[in-house]
Amino acid sequence: MGGWHAESMKPLVPFVRNVEWEPHDELVEQLRAAMPEIDVVVHADIPSERLGEATVAVVDGPSAEQLSSLSNLRFVQSTWAGVEAILPAVPEGVAVARMVDPQLALTMAEAVLAWTLYLHRDMPRYARQQTAREWIEQPPVRASSRRVSVLGLGALGTVAATTLRDQRFDVAGWSRSPKLVDGVECHHGTDGFTAVLERSDIVINLLPHTAATVGLLGTDAFASMRPGSSIVNFGRGPTIDDDALLAALDSGHLDHAVLDVFDVEPLPESHRFWSHPSVTVLPHISGPTSTDTAAIIAADNIRRFLADGTMPSDAMVDRERGY
C-alpha cells in the first residue's frame, strides 16, 4: 500500500482505520489520486516521531488509541454518513465532518425506491405463494394510493422522499425540526411523528443513531402504524426495538419488515429475524460509500482546511445531537 516517505515535503494526512479490520486499499488509492499534492499515509505506516505533524485525518472506522496518537489533530473527515460509531473515538475538541456525498444520497434513494416497490407490489406475498405453489393474483394498488413516509429528512432522506414522489407515491416525511420539501407532506416534533406513522402504508426509517432515537420505533410507535402496514429500516439498528417489532409482526398488526441495519452486525445466526416469514434481512447494503466520489469530497474539504482552516459547514457534526 506504500508507507511514509521521509523525503516528502507534502502535508501529512493519516488514513485511520481500525487495525482489526481488513485494509481498505481501494479507498486509500482513491484518496491519493484525488489529492496528489498531499501525502495520504495509512496510520500504521507513519513513524511515531511524525504523528504529531498531522492536523487533519481521514477516518474510516478509527479506534480511540489511533486518534489519540495524533497529538495536534484538529479536524477529522469521516468517510461515513453516520458517525455514532466514530464519535467515541474522536478526542474532545477535535471537529468532525461526516461524509455528505450526493452520490451516496442517490444510492440510498435507489435502495429506498427498490424496496418500497418490493413491498408495494406485494413481492413477499408472491414469494410465499410460490413456496406454497399457489397461483393467486393479488389486487393491485396504484402508487398514488400508496402512502409512504420517510423518517429523517436530512441529505439522504430528502432525496429519497423526492425520488418516491417522482414515482407518484403519496409521500410524507418527518424530521426533528421543521422542513419544507416540495411535493412532500412534512411533519416534525412528537405530534408530527405520530401523525406520520398513522397515515402510512410503508414507513422508511433513515434516522441516525442518537440518544434521542434509540428505541424510538418501539411498542407505541408500531401500535400507531396502520394495520397491515410495513417498515423498512435503512437508518440504524438501535432506532428499532427488536422485540417490539417481532411482537407487531407476530400479531399480524404489521405485515412485513425489510431490515438492513441491526444492533449487532453481522446479525447473529440465532436471531429470529433470519427465519421470520415476515422479515427480509439485508447485509447493510442500502447506502455503501462510493469510494471515488467520497475521495473527491474528502480531498476538497481537506484542501480547504489546510489552506485556511475552513471546514465544510454542511457536514459538521454536533456532538450533543450526535449527528
Evaluated on CA atoms 237, 243, 246, 252, the torsion sign reads negative
Selection from 266, 256, 260, 255 nearest residue 239 by Cα: 260
Q: Is residue 2 assigned to a domain?
A: no
pLDDT at site 93: 96
Catalytic residue numbers, as ranges: 236, 284
Are 97 and 232 found together in one domain? no
Residues 6+ apart with CB under 8 A from 29: none
**Does 2 have pLDDT greater than 70?**
no
Task: Please report whether residue 237 resides in a domain.
Answer: yes
Give the pLDDT score at 77.
98
Is the pLDDT confidence value at 45 over 50? yes
Closest CA to 34 of 55, 48, 54, 15: 15
The reply to whether 125 falls in a domain is yes
Does 3 fall in a domain? no
* 130 Rama sector, left if φ>0, alpha if ψ -120 to 50, beta otherwise: alpha
- pLDDT-derived band at 1 (thresholds 50, 70, 90) equals very low
* pTM to 2 decimal places: 0.92
Proportion of the chain above pLDDT 70, given as a percent: 98
100 and 297 Cβ atoms separated by less than 8 Å? yes
Answer yes or no: do 106 and 247 share one domain: yes
**pLDDT for 63-94, tens place per residue?**
999 999 999 999 999 999 999 999 999 999 99
High-pLDDT (> 90) share of the chain, %: 96
| Residue 145: inside a domain | yes
Same domain, 185 and 227: yes
Statement to judge: residues 78 and 27 lie in one domain: yes
Residue 175 belongs to some domain of the structure: yes
- Computed from CA positions of residues 285, 287, 293, 298, in that sequence, does the dihedral angle turn out positive or negative? negative
Q: pLDDT for 232-250, tens place per residue?
A: 999 999 999 999 999 999 9
Asked whether residue 315 is domain-assigned, the answer is no
Question: Which cell goes with 166?
Answer: 417522482
Quote the cell numbers at residue 283: 447485509
Closest C-alpha to 236, from 220, 218, 257, 213:
213
Q: Are residues 29 and 42 in the same domain?
A: yes
Q: Determine the average pLDDT of the residues in 319-323.
A: 90
Q: What is the DSSP string of 167-201?
A: TT-EEEEEESS---BTTBEEEEHHHHHHHHHHH-S
Residue 38 confidence (pLDDT) above 90 = yes
Rounded distance, CA 225 to CA 235, Å?
18
| Same domain, yes or no: 180 and 75 | no
Number of folded domains in the chain?
A: 2
Same domain, yes or no, for 264 and 295? no
Which pLDDT value is given to residue 9?
A: 82
> How many other C-beta atoms can be found within 10 angstroms of the C-beta atom of residue 233?
24
Question: Which parts of 69-134 fold into alpha helices (H)?
Answer: 102-120, 123-131
Domain span holding position 66: 12-101+289-308
Question: Of 209, 200, 273, 197, which is closest to residue 235 (Cα–Cα)?
Answer: 209
Do 55 and 121 share a domain, yes or no? no
The C-alpha cell that represents 8 in the structure block = 516528502
Residues 293, 240 share a domain = no
User: Does a structural domain hold residue 317?
Assistant: no
Cell of 94: 477535535
pLDDT of 8: 55
Are 34 and 177 in the same domain? Answer: no
Give pLDDT tens digits for 122-145. Answer: 999 999 999 999 999 999 999 999
Among 81-85, 105-109, 117-121, 314-318, the minimum mean pLDDT is found in: 81-85
pLDDT digits (tens, 9 = 90+) for 258-299: 999 999 999 999 999 999 999 999 999 999 999 999 999 999
Verify that 81 and 145 share a domain, yes or no.
Answer: no
264, 172: one domain? yes
- pLDDT for residue 7 is more than 50: no
Residue 18: CATH number of its domain: 3.40.50.720
* Per-residue pLDDT reduced to its tens digit, 153-177: 999 999 999 999 999 999 999 999 9
